[in-house]
Structure 1
């Protein structure tokens, strides 16, 4: 291996590891890479730069893999390609990722970008390690065998895939990211509600094994069995009523996802204002927590745990109400607590009706739960 190529390969591997460390650091949110300055980055569009850098990385990886696979191995050409990656492509990619901050793009989006960028760097590292192996062995070989070629091709393919994902997320931006996440949460809620709907409280337990355990008691337990049957009937009726109440409130809650996605998220202003970014941040938090609470509601139903059921239904309703309240007014209207009477749009009217209906259903459920507890 030539001295220049050896140095360039080592530099690339070291640089990639350093950049990965920088991206994983919690304190690097506002720190540009060492090769850039505030003056150079203050006017940059991070997502445009990220997309362009990922595209450039993909292009250079294509060139690097072809140079590695083509015989004879040209050390100078490989070194030149790696030098370009080291000096411009990788610094630009990482700089773009570091310019995505919670204040400008939400914490969730920042985390997604850092993870995807780190993935691209990890796959690049593995590819360059394969190139290093080829460079070290080229003196004793005229060409690569098929398995070696496949290894390099697969490594390059993983970098391309990581770059494509990064480009897609950067192109769609924060709004596209939030829409995708909201649709994922919607699917989770839909599945959980359908599972509760299909659940039959009467199928709980195993009567066959109960009969075996009680078999020795014979006729002496006839009176006890009668009392147990009566208690079981009352418990079953209570569970059926609780399931019915759960669905009465969970089904309207499930409706907020398509309504918010269509009427607010897909109409969010681009670029986002600081206030809109904060709204999206809090909105995502509540939309994410709803399926988590509904899973707990289902668990409480299956376990016949009234206290847990009551708490989780309440938490689910609170998160859904907060989510709706956050986006009741259109983005063009300043959303502040003092402007509740501000004229909005059709979704504003729908939101107020939804809040009223859910409030009434919740009150009815509380009354039902109180009667069951007593």
Structure 2
């Protein structure tokens, strides 16, 4: 028996308004909207707000998914859950971003940006689930149980990512980011080593059909063409100065990796957000580390383009960014010299 038309119409209208609310969130993150937002009196801990609202959102999406795949389809029951979801969970989640911006001296830029990214993912996955729900409400066949629960599972994962922020806090997030940047640089070092040694398993032992010696006019240009087409796979053997520069870059990048490890152990894991200056310093350290990591990609690109000067410039930028992070972290959070202080001086001398 088909559900009453009025119930189905009410559900579709609610789905449309909820989708509009979800799509509105990215624009609410703009600086102008943030600045003009109403100040929240006695703001709560935004990480706790995210934890509680994301936990409730998981429960609601589970109920909606089960109602969607079980017969008879009851739009009125789903409407009731969606009303609660759109009236409680979603506004609460969005308020966390506003609190972070309002209390930036406490939560910093790193946490605020991360919250925004994770909420965007959650809302995007909710849009997908609601689109699936609308398809069912419009009379299309319900998806297989496994598929529907899989969609709900993706929403769950994004909610778990929001809940995680309350568990790790600012220090834990900083550690996670620094380790990600460090691992990315490690990968770049390995790729540069492979490129320097010419060990490209995908092309090893394979002739380039574009350089077939039977082709007219190729014989005289084969060597130069080989450099052009294979530069991205292996370093030309007749560029000793480039090899030396790559080896120098590898050495400096390894020292930057060591800096990440030392910072994680001696500064990030010991961080306590007691003062605004400390929060700002932590943000600055992570920004320099991120910029250095991004610069490593440009460095590798310069090498693959056989651009010596470009590689030297990019390497200098990476080193400068790492040095800046080291300088900010030189003293402990209590403003005193410690083991890291002494180590940092030796590190700067070593990296040159």
Residue of structure 2 equivalent to 1:83 = 83
Residue of structure 1 equivalent to 2:112 = 110
What is the alpha-carbon distance in structure 2 between the residues aligned to residue 73 and residue 214 of structure 1? Answer: 71
Distance 1:135 1:265, change over 3 A: same
Distance 1:115 1:302, change over 3 A: closer
Q: CA deviation at 1:268?
A: 0.9
Say whether the 8 Å CA contact 1:286–1:323 is kept in structure 2.
Answer: yes
Q: Secondary structure at the match of 2:33?
A: coil
Distance 1:350 1:128, change over 3 A: same
Q: Secondary structure at the match of 1:319?
A: helix
Residue of structure 1 equivalent to 2:188 = 192
Q: CA deviation at 1:107?
A: 3.1
Structure with bigger helix share is 1
Residue of structure 2 equivalent to 1:61 = 61
Distance 1:290 1:97, change over 3 A: same
Distance 1:201 1:68, change over 3 A: closer
Matches within 5 A, 1:208-227: 212-213=219-220
Residue of structure 2 equivalent to 1:29 = 34
Residue of structure 2 equivalent to 1:297 = 299
Distance 1:159 1:309, change over 3 A: closer
Q: CA deviation at 1:61?
A: 1.1
Q: CA deviation at 1:346?
A: 0.7
Q: CA deviation at 1:151?
A: 4.6
What is the alpha-carbon distance in structure 1 between the residues aligned to residue 218 and residue 269 of structure 2? Answer: 58
Residue of structure 2 equivalent to 1:156 = 152
What is the alpha-carbon distance in structure 2 between the residues aligned to residue 51 and residue 20 of structure 1? Answer: 22
Which residue, 166, 176, 179 being the options, matches 1:180? 176
Say whether the 8 Å CA contact 2:40–2:99 is kept in structure 1.
Answer: no
Q: Secondary structure at the match of 2:269?
A: helix
Distance 1:44 1:293, change over 3 A: same
Residue of structure 2 equivalent to 1:346 = 339
Unmatched segments (≥5 aa) in structure 1: 139-143, 216-231, 334-342, 360-374
What TM-score, normalized to structure 1? 0.74
Larger Rg: 1
Residue of structure 2 equivalent to 1:47 = 47
Q: CA deviation at 1:169?
A: 3.1
Say whether the 8 Å CA contact 1:329–1:348 is kept in structure 2.
Answer: yes
Unmatched segments (≥5 aa) in structure 2: 200-207, 223-235
Residue of structure 2 equivalent to 1:356 = 349
| Correspondence 1:13 to 2:16 | yes
What TM-score, normalized to structure 2? 0.78
Residue of structure 2 equivalent to 1:279 = 281
Q: Deviations for 1:290-341, whole angstroms, at most 9, x for unmatched residues?
A: 23333333444454433223322221221111010111111122xxxxxxxx
Say whether the 8 Å CA contact 1:131–1:152 is kept in structure 2.
Answer: no
What is the alpha-carbon distance in structure 2 between the residues aligned to residue 149 and residue 202 of structure 1? Answer: 50
What is the alpha-carbon distance in structure 2 between the residues aligned to residue 3 and residue 251 of structure 1? Answer: 66
| Correspondence 1:98 to 2:98 | yes
Distance 1:156 1:201, change over 3 A: closer
Distance 1:297 1:23, change over 3 A: closer
Distance 1:5 1:279, change over 3 A: farther
What is the alpha-carbon distance in structure 2 between the residues aligned to residue 155 and residue 313 of structure 1? Answer: 44
Residue of structure 2 equivalent to 1:331 = 333
Q: Secondary structure at the match of 1:329?
A: coil
Distance 1:50 1:31, change over 3 A: farther
The count of aligned residue pairs is 320
Q: CA deviation at 1:265?
A: 0.9
Q: CA deviation at 1:160?
A: 1.6
